[in-house]
Amino acid sequence: MYVSELRFDDKGLIAAVICDHQTNEVLMVGYMNEEALRQTVASGRATFWSRSRQKLWVKGESSGHTQEVKWIRLDCDGDCLLVGVEQRVGACHLGYRSCFFRELRDGQWEIIAEQVFDPDEVY
């Protein structure tokens, strides 16, 4: 079974880097436990383990900004997943397409992207 090849950490989690399935733009990083991964595979919708809420959550369950999984890849050490998705609207809860919307420039974090939605209208 595919799960036996994974190296979960001591909390039963594995990092999942989420990227656009066509461009490979990194959209976000989440964590999956075995159940989240199984649900992701079965449903085709990215599902994660919330470390703060201690429960499963499906990306887009409150915002509608879902991630349709196109492929899942495993790194050479078996301890990190790369998940290619079709992102609907934005992945970031702050209103950006990607959670990586800031870049270090001259010692300061600069916003380098435009918001694609108003989080106050979604959450």
- Give residue 40's pLDDT: 98
- Give residue 35's pLDDT: 98
- Give residue 15's pLDDT: 98
Give the DSSP letter of residue 2. Answer: G
Question: Structural domains in the chain?
Answer: 2-93 (3.10.20.810)
Question: For the chain, which residues score pLDDT lower than 70?
Answer: none
Residue 61, SS3? coil
What does the longest C-alpha to C-alpha distance in the chain come to?
A: 48
pTM: 0.95
- Give residue 10's pLDDT: 98
Residue written as tokens 């989690």? Answer: 13
